[in-house]
Structures are given as C-alpha cells and as structure tokens.
Amino acid sequence: MRILPVLCLLLSAFVLSPASAADPLPSWNDGAAKTAITEFVAAVADPEHADYVAPSERIAVFDNDGALWVEQPIYTQLAFVLERLKTMAPQHPEWQEQQPFKAALAGDMDSVGDAGMEGLMQLLMATHAGMSTDEFAAVATDWLATARHPRFERPYTELVYQPTLELLDYLRANGFKTFIVSGGGIAFMRPWTERVYGIPPEQVVGSQIALKYSTDLGTPVIMRKPEIAFIDDKAGKPVGIQRHIGRRPIFAWGNSDGDYQMLQWTTAGDGRRLGMLLHHDDAEREYAYDRDSHVGRLDRGLDDAAGKGWVVVSMQRDWGSVFPAAPSQALAHP
Amino acid sequence: MRILPVLCLLLSAFVLSPASAADPLPSWNDGAAKTAITEFVAAVADPEHADYVAPSERIAVFDNDGALWVEQPIYTQLAFVLERLKTMAPQHPEWQEQQPFKAALAGDMDSVGDAGMEGLMQLLMATHAGMSTDEFAAVATDWLATARHPRFERPYTELVYQPTLELLDYLRANGFKTFIVSGGGIAFMRPWTERVYGIPPEQVVGSQIALKYSTDLGTPVIMRKPEIAFIDDKAGKPVGIQRHIGRRPIFAWGNSDGDYQMLQWTTAGDGRRLGMLLHHDDAEREYAYDRDSHVGRLDRGLDDAAGKGWVVVSMQRDWGSVFPAAPSQALAHP
C-alpha cells in the first residue's frame, strides 16, 4: 500500500497543473486553420455537444508524402528506388531503352514524374520484388538510417512536419485513432511510422505489391511478387480505407489531388467532419508548388475546397515552424 | 478538487481488491491448455522474463468460424446467403442448373461444402455484390438480429464461445491487440465484432470482394463488385496478416486446416509464441467433427500439432462451459 500515497500525489499534481490550458498545437499560428481544428476536436469529443462522436468512430486519416513529411524534389521512396536501380542496372541492360527505367537511371525526374504513381509502382516492383517481406523491411530501414535529403541534409525521417506531429498527438489525446492512407508503398512506410509518427504498422494503408506465403525453403517466408496488388491513390483511397479500416473517417488530412476522393468520402458523411489540405506555399522554409507540379499536384482541390468546406492550410501563414527543431525531437517521438 | 478524494478511494478499492488473484479464465477447466495460455501470457508480459515481448508486438490472431463462434451445421454466413438466394432465385432461372447455386437452393449442404471456400465466395458474390458497403452492412445487421440457429434456437451472435470471450479479454488486459483473421467475408463480420468480441472493424481481416468508389449518383458511395479480391484462407492467412497488420503475431487461435498456415507463420518466428487449435469433440454441448467434416475440417493440424508444439484444446475436456449462460451476457460484452 506504500504506492497509494505516491499515486495520489501524482494525481494531485496532474489535476492541479494547468495542462488543460496549455496550447496543444504550439507550432501552429493563430488563425482560421488552427481554430478549425480545435473547434472540431472540442465538439466531437464533448459528450454534451450536439456533434459528439463516440471514441470508436473517431477515425482520422493522413496522407503521408507532402502531408506528414517532405515530398520534394522527389518522393522519398523514389530516391530510395533510384539508388537500388543504379545498383541493379548492370544486370538489366534493357532498362537503358525502357521507360520509366531509362529516365530514372538518367536522373530525368520530369519524365519519371510524367509516369505518375503507376510508373513509380513499376520502378518499385522491379527493385523491390523477389525478396521476403523481412528482407525488404531491413533494406528500407538501412537506407533511411543513412540517406540524407539533398537540400536539408537531414535524414528523411527528420523531415517530418512538426505541426502535424502535434496534430497527431492532439487527436490521439482526444480519443482519435490515427491512420496513414498513402499512395506510397505500405512496406516502405511501416518500418518507421510507429517510431516517427506514433502510428503502428497495422494503422498504415498504402499501395501494395502482391505477396505469396512460401515454405519452399523450409522456413516460412512471405515473398514479394513483381505484381501490383493495389494502388492506394485517388479513388483508390476510399477503397483502401474501406478495406483496411472498415469505417468512414471523420477527419482527413491531405495535400494533393491524390487526396481529393479521401477528403470527399470523409466529409460527405453524416455528422460533423473536417477535411484539410496543406498548401505548400513556403519556398523559403520548405517548397512552393501546387497546380503545375509533377509531384504532389494540387489543382482540383484548390478549386473545390471552399465549396466543399475543406480548410486549406497555408504552410507559410499557418505554421510557426515546419520541421522539428532538433534531431533528438523527431527521434524521441514515440 | 472535490474529485481527488473520490479518485483515491476508488484507487484504494482497486489496489486492495483481490482482483489479481481472481481467475481470468473461469470457463476453462484446469489442465494443460489453460496452463499453456496463462504461462505464455505471464512470460511475454513480464519485463523481467527472458521471453518478454514489447506491448506493440503482442499481436494475437483468431480465426472466427468454429474458433470464436459456431460453424455447424453450416457456416453462419452461408445460412445468410441461402436466404438471400431464395429471395433472388425467381430472377435467376439459370441457378437451377448451375453449381453451387443448384445445391444451395436445394439445401444440399454436402455439395455446397464440396465447393469449398471458393464456392462459398461465388455464392457470396452473386448475392452480395451490386450494392453499396453501407447497404450491405445494414442487410447483414438486420438478418443477424432476427435469424436463429436451427439447433440452439438462439441468435448466432449469442453462439460465441464463452471461453474465447474470456481469452480475448485476458489477452487485451495483458497488452495484446486482438485481431480476427477469418476465411469469412470481412463485410459480414465487421458490423458486429466490436459489440460481441470487443474487436473493432479495423482489426478484422477476412475474405473480400472488389470495391469501387463511385460518385455517379452525386453522393459518394463504395460499391461492392461481383469479383473476388482476396481469399483469406489457408496460405492466404499469412498474406492477409501481412497486408493488414504488417507484423507477425505471437499468438494464433484456430480450429481447422484453413488455419494451418496461420499457426505455422505465427509460431515459426523468433522468441516465445503460442499456437492453439480448438478440437470440436463435444457432440453433447456443441458438435464433434474433425478429419472428415465438410465444414471446418481438421486433419493435417491434428497430425502435426504435437511436432510443432501447437496446443490442441479439447472442447469437452478443457471447457467448463461453451456458450454464454444468458443472452444478456453476450449482448453486454463491450
């Protein structure tokens, strides 16, 4: 029973502290975007509010590339692919003439971008199939530990957005379950999303290549086959949500037209909902791009946001900081 | 601050109560099966134990049909299918000659059983595609509310196993995340698994038909297409686990050869693991079937269990009760 007085002391400290008054989103500047978030969360988490939502239905979905971490000048996963392509190229002379391999090996990112998400998937298959799921996770983890972003010269897992880290924490503190719903490869994200975002592998939805269970070599393995199983982009996102989560989110966070249907599906449901689009308009601290970008194009979303009640977040205006200040912060995240 | 003394009182009551000494599995008879569970959980949840497993890696997977609820004389989902087939039959004269439709309409369950899980999927597609996911969930929910099992004359959602309800609670109380990994249709299970098992829709893995996001009618819907997308049975189970959960379970519970690969994949990993097979050997309280059954055949699993260290649970010997005693118990489950 020695522990009881200690627990009560701790409890007193908690109850007495002004924690509830502290700003849960310190990296967000005051303004319409921040207010939209806090008012939404206050409403759906308050049992006395007309817009109350039961905790089990508080599902929040986040795109990853350009929404939770940097996607310029090229998708991080594409940078990963390029290094492997170069390593494998001597064994594949046909790639010198075949797109999008030729462009990728030449570093012609415009042409690779033109090939879209499906082109990216082709490069992914060629470089990432024919090995087990465990082997692939190890390769991805090893690469991320040493790779550096060409402009910021930091590991990619430190080029996550501090304001969205706070948003994820804030939503979870208010009973939300947070999911990633990304066009990127699910197996490329899962090895690090729990450490960096606090999102466990089972709450990551993404594009997938086909898998096959095999005991051919005695020890059971799951092999990665060179075949696209699912592309979790555009109209694929609501399908990925349904397949994986099985209920409709009430909060969606994206940044490109690839997220359009995810926001549409999320916000068209009954009751209170919130859809948000991050607008990359900050060339100084990050990048500025929208309607004409090969990567993360945002065009239709900008046109339709107001009519659909989606909140456009200006990186320049609404965010007080972009990346975590010190490496230790990003790495220490749960 | 009025609340603090009350909290301390509650805390005292909890700390003083003999809850930790209470049997967490009261419907299990003492014996090797029960001991295997409690020793496994005690080891992996104890930070001081050599076999300790971090909470995030405590993934437990459960088959559903015959593992968490009754599957005889026919799969519950098949009973649901049969009623819809009869309703639709006048519009489909071709079914009178076409298997497995002919057998299903004639109530010839042996022939339907011979068509296996793939045959079941055909019947599923014919009866369940061409409507939205919301519509299907409503149809399934309505049917389960009124349907009664032919022998026990209770709703199917009350014919869940009391010992596995306790096992699910016990694992969750010890930091496990519990998943269903079933050959059954994911959309047929999700509307009720949270209420009955405490397993939310996002932790249900199952067979799936193809889905398509559509805004053709103005309001966005997800339509169910007459096309099999994934069969979560046999070697499909480890694949379903990888696709959906993204890490290897440490505990697996099944009852048929359809669960063989799930147990194999689970128990072949490093560190401490536990695979269990429920043996239906209790004709009096439930059913007795194994090697020759059309539904839930258990043959290879019985042969190999001892060699692989899987624990075979005898319903007759190891379970003190089978179903929840009173309807209110099953319905009151979280």
Closest by alpha carbon to A151, among A79, A237, A207? A79
Helix (H) or strand (E) holding B13: helix B3-16
A222 with B201: Cβ contact below 8 A: no
Give the up-direction half-sphere exposure of residue A156: CA atoms within 13 A in the CB hemisphere.
Answer: 29
For B179-228, what is each residue's pLDDT tens digit?
Answer: 999 999 999 999 999 999 999 999 999 999 999 999 998 899 999 998 88
Task: Tell me how far CA of residue B234 lies from CA of B45, B172, B241, in angstroms.
Answer: 29, 26, 12
- A321 shares contact with chain B (CB less than 8 Å): no
Burial class (CB in 10 A: 0-12, 13-18, 19+), B248: buried
From the list A140, A240, A127, the residue with the least C-alpha distance to A187 is: A140
Cis ω for the linkage preceding B73 (within 30 of 0): yes
Percent of chain A with pLDDT over 90: 79
CB neighbour class for B258 (10 Å; exposed up to 12, middle 13-18, buried from 19): buried
Give the model's pLDDT for residue B327. 63
Minimum mean pLDDT range among A90-99, A130-139, B7-16, B306-315: B7-16
Average pLDDT value over all residues in chain A:
91
CATH 3.40.50.1000 holds for B24-73+155-332: yes
**pLDDT tens track for A222-233:** 999 998 899 999
pLDDT, greater one: A324 or A4: A324
For A132, how many CA atoms within 13 A lie in the half-sphere containing its CB? 13
B90 vs B80, B99, B121, B139, CA distance in Å?
18, 16, 21, 20
| Fold of the domain built from segment(s) A23-72+157-332 | Rossmann fold (3.40.50)
Q: What is the pLDDT of residue B78?
A: 86
Q: What pairing do the DSSP bridges indicate for beta strands B251-254 and B221-230?
A: unpaired
Contact A246 B201 (CB under 8 A): yes
DSSP one-letter string for B75-104: -HHHHHHHHHHHHHGGG-GGGGTSTTHHHH
Over residues B302-322, mean pLDDT: 98
pLDDT of residue B214: 97
The pLDDT-based confidence of B21 (bands split at 50, 70, 90) is: low
A179, A159 contact by CB (below 8 A)? no
Residue B61 has φ and ψ, to the nearest 5°, of -120, 140
With beta carbons under 8 A apart, name residues in chain B contacting A219. 268
pLDDT at A123: 85
Least-confidence region, from A23-32, B70-79, B156-165? B70-79
Is A242 in Cβ contact with B235 (below 8 Å)? no
Q: Which of A5, A11, A31, A9 is nearest to A315 (CA)?
A: A31
d(CA A160, CA A197): 9
Distance from CA of B95 to the nearest CA of A (A): 30
- Asked if A222 and B242 come within 8 Å (Cβ–Cβ), the reply is yes
Binding-face residues of A in 202-231 toward B, CB within 8 A: 202-204, 208, 211-213, 215, 219-220, 222, 229
Would you call B1 and A8 a contact, using CB atoms and an 8 Å cutoff? no
- For residue B113, the model assigns a pLDDT of 77
- B326 pLDDT exceeds 80? no
Return left, alpha or beta for B139; rule: phi > 0 is left, psi -120 to 50 is alpha, else beta. Answer: alpha
How many other C-beta atoms are found inside a 10 Å radius of the C-beta of residue A283?
11
Least Cα separation, residue A239 to chain B (angstroms): 6
Element housing B190 (H / E): helix B186-197
- pLDDT of A15 strictly over 50: no
Q: What is the pLDDT of residues B123-182, one digit of tens each?
A: 888 888 989 999 999 999 999 999 999 999 999 999 999 999 999 999 999 999 999 999
A40: phi then psi, degrees, rounded to nearest 5: -60, -50
Q: Give strand pairing partners of B179.
A: B61
d(CA B296, CA B280) in angstroms, rounded, equals 9
Q: How far apart are CA B105 and CA B90, in angstroms?
A: 11
Q: Which residue of A has its CA nearest to B266?
A: A220
pLDDT above 80 (res A4): no
Task: Spell out which residues of chain A touch residue B60, defining contact as CB-CB under 8 Å.
Answer: none
Give the three-class secondary structure for A87. helix
pLDDT for B104 beyond 70: yes
CA distance A75 to chain B (A): 22
Give the pLDDT of residue B209.
92
Cα separation of A263 and A276, whole Å?
A: 8
pLDDT at A97: 93
Q: Is the CB of A6 inside 8 Å of chain B's CB atoms?
A: no
- Residue A116 pLDDT grade (very low, low, confident, very high; cuts 50, 70, 90): confident
Q: Does B215 contact A242 at a Cβ distance shorter than 8 Å? A: no
Q: Could you tell me which of A319, A21, A20 has the C-alpha nearest to residue A162?
A: A319
- Tokens at A298, concatenated: 């945002």
pLDDT at B45 over 50: yes
Output phi, psi for B189, to 5 deg.
-90, -40
Residue A326 has what pLDDT? Answer: 66
Chain A contact for B193 (CB, 8 A cutoff): no
Give the residue from A136, A202, A239 with the most B CB atoms within 10 Å of its CB, the best one to mutate: A202
The mean pLDDT value for A154-181 works out to: 98
Contacts A201 to B, Cβ<8 Å: 245-247
Q: What are phi and psi of B54, to 5 degrees?
A: -60, 145
Mean pLDDT in residue range B74-81: 91
Q: Three-class SS string for B133-162?
A: HHHHHHHHHHHHHHCCCCCCCCCHHHCECH
List the single residue in A with minimal CA-CA distance to B234.
A213
Q: Provide the pairing of β-strand A204-214 with A221-230.
A: antiparallel
Residue B238 contacts residue A213 (beta carbons within 8 Å): yes
- The runs of H, that is alpha helices, within chain A are 3-16, 32-44, 76-88, 101-106, 109-114, 116-128, 133-146, 162-173, 186-197, 236-244, 260-267, 300-308, 315-318, 327-332
Contacts of B213 in chain A (CB under 8 A): 235-239, 261, 265
- What average pLDDT does this structure show over A305-329? 91
User: What pLDDT is recorded for position A332?
Assistant: 45
| Band of residue B19 on the pLDDT scale cut at 50, 70, 90 | very low
- Cβ of residue A273 closer than 8 Å to a chain B Cβ: no
Q: Which residue has the tokens 């692989």?
A: B308
More confident of the two residues B21 and A253 = A253
Cα A198 to Cα A266: distance, rounded to the nearest angstrom: 22
A185 to chain B, any CB pair closer than 8 A? The answer is no
Output the pLDDT for position B155: 96
**pLDDT at residue B59 tops 90:** yes
Predicted pLDDT of residue A124 = 80
pLDDT over threshold 50, residue B1: no
pLDDT at B56 exceeding the cut of 80: yes
Burial (Cβ within 10 Å: 0-12, 13-18, ≥19) of residue B228: middle
d(CA A65, CA A48): 37
In this prediction the pTM is 0.90
Closest CA of chain B from A30, distance in Å: 32
Residue B267 has pLDDT above 90, yes or no: yes
Token pair recorded at residue B236: 């499909």
Nearest to residue B234, comparing CAs of B209, B262, B270? B262
